[in-house]
């Protein structure tokens, strides 16, 4: 505990730390009858060491919490790799998504959400997952799912209120693929409940959809209408277009395979052992 070689006796007759020079002893009052007693006290070095240890412990706990939040966030494990850092190009939609994350506190306070819309395969899910991952990293609770999963889970759930609360608890709810949900009255009823809960809690919601914005705004089915109205009121539409990511990836893979085969052919024709 107190190593002699690192201490000296000061002019006050107390043991001092040779590094920070602070006393490692102090006269502390116990009570009136016994008077003061010489007690051990921490010097600056020890206080610093303790502070570092405490910060490390807190950081460790924060990482555990973040990992747990990430597991709770996604239905699919691959979503965790969709990050701003892994993004190949800064498309306008990615830039806006980044801005949303940068201004998260304000967005949260103002209940502001986003609606990523545009043709199939342009990376709307990717953009939404980037937001999820960036906020998870900041220890924000996020849940990213879709309406069909919500309807299925709700149908099976023994405690439906608890599941609804789980969706309400997270600071940000992301619902992927709006418009692909089943249109039964039962399904739309559940979806409305989820959206309405969210709407009234004042917590932000982000959705993605392949539906054209015009179609969302002009929906005539009354059960869908009331869902879309609430979404449009809180979620700013952001168009995600550009090239089809899936087609582009397929094209890239083809090109890659082609270069491999071409290399092999060149190697074979120039290999002297093969001649
Ligand atoms: Zn010291």
At 69-127, the pLDDT tens digits run 999 999 988 999 999 999 888 899 999 999 999 999 999 999 999 999 998 888 999 99
pLDDT at 274 > cutoff 50: no
Distance CA 237, CA 152 (A): 27
Phi, psi values for residue 137, rounded to 5°: -65, -25
Superfamily of domain covering 74-245? P-loop containing nucleotide triphosphate hydrolases (3.40.50.300)
pLDDT at 33 > cutoff 70: no
- Per-residue model confidence (pLDDT) at position 30: 64
Measured CA to CA in angstroms, residue 134 lies from 65, 86, 128, 169 at distances of 15, 12, 10, 19
Q: What is the 29 CA–ligand 1 centroid distance (Å)? A: 23
Q: What is the 252 CA–ligand 1 centroid distance (Å)? A: 61
Q: What is the 6 CA–ligand 1 centroid distance (Å)? A: 8
Distance CA 138, CA 159 (A): 30
pLDDT at 43 > cutoff 90: yes
Q: What is the 21 CA–ligand 1 centroid distance (Å)? A: 6
Q: What is the 10 CA–ligand 1 centroid distance (Å)? A: 13
Measured CA to CA in angstroms, residue 50 lies from 22, 39, 109 at distances of 16, 19, 36
Please give the structure tokens belonging to residue 63: 């990482």
Which residues make Cβ contacts (< 8 Å) with residue 70, sequence separation at least 6? 80, 133, 136
H-helix or E-strand containing 38?
strand 35-40
Exposure letters 42-55 (e unless 16+ CB within 10 A, then b)? ebeebeeeeeeeee
Q: What is the 48 CA–ligand 1 centroid distance (Å)? A: 9
Residue 32's pLDDT band (boundaries 50, 70, 90)?
A: low
CB atoms within 10 A of CB 194: 22
Q: What is the 30 CA–ligand 1 centroid distance (Å)? A: 25
CB atoms within 10 A of CB 172: 23
Dihedral angle over CA of 51, 52, 54, 59, nearest 10: 140
Q: What is the 34 CA–ligand 1 centroid distance (Å)? A: 29
Which residues make Cβ contacts (< 8 Å) with residue 9, sequence separation at least 6? 15, 16
Q: What is the 23 CA–ligand 1 centroid distance (Å)? A: 8
Domain boundaries, the chain: 74-245
Q: What is the 19 CA–ligand 1 centroid distance (Å)? A: 5
* H helix intervals, the chain: 44-73, 92-102, 104-109, 124-137, 147-156, 160-169, 185-201, 213-217, 222-234, 245-270
Q: What is the 50 CA–ligand 1 centroid distance (Å)? A: 12
pLDDT in tens, 203-257: 999 999 999 999 999 999 999 999 999 999 999 999 998 766 656 666 777 777 7
């Amino acid at each position: 505990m107190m190593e002699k070689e690192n201490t000296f006796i000061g002019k006050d007759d107390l043991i001092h730390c040779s590094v920070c020079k602070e006393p490692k002893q102090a006269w502390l009052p116990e009570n009136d009858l016994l008077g003061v007693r010489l007690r051990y006290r921490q010097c600056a070095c020890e206080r610093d060491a303790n502070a570092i240890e405490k910060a490390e412990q807190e950081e460790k706990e924060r990482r555990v919490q973040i990992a747990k939040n990430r597991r709770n966030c996604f239905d699919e494990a691959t979503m965790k790799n969709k990050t701003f850092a892994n993004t190949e190009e800064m498309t306008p939609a990615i830039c806006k998504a980044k801005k949303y994350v940068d201004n998260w506190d304000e967005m949260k306070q103002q209940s502001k959400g986003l609606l990523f819309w545009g043709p199939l395969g342009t990376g709307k899910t990717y953009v939404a997952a980037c937001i999820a991952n960036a906020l998870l990293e900041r220890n924000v609770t996020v849940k990213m799912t879709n309406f069909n999963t919500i309807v299925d889970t709700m149908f099976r759930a023994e405690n439906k209120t608890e599941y609804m609360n789980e969706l309400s608890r997270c600071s940000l709810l992301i619902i992927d693929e709006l418009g692909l949900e089943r249109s039964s009255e039962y399904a739309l009823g559940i979806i409305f409940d989820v959206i309405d809960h969210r709407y009234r809690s004042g917590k932000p919601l982000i959705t993605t959809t392949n539906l054209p914005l015009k179609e969302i705004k002009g929906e005539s089915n009354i059960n869908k209408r009331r869902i879309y109205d609430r979404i449009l009121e809180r979620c700013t539409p952001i168009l995600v277009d550009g090239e089809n990511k899936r087609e582009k990836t397929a094209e890239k893979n083809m090109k890659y395979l082609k270069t491999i085969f071409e290399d092999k052919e060149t190697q074979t024709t120039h290999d002297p052992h093969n001649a």
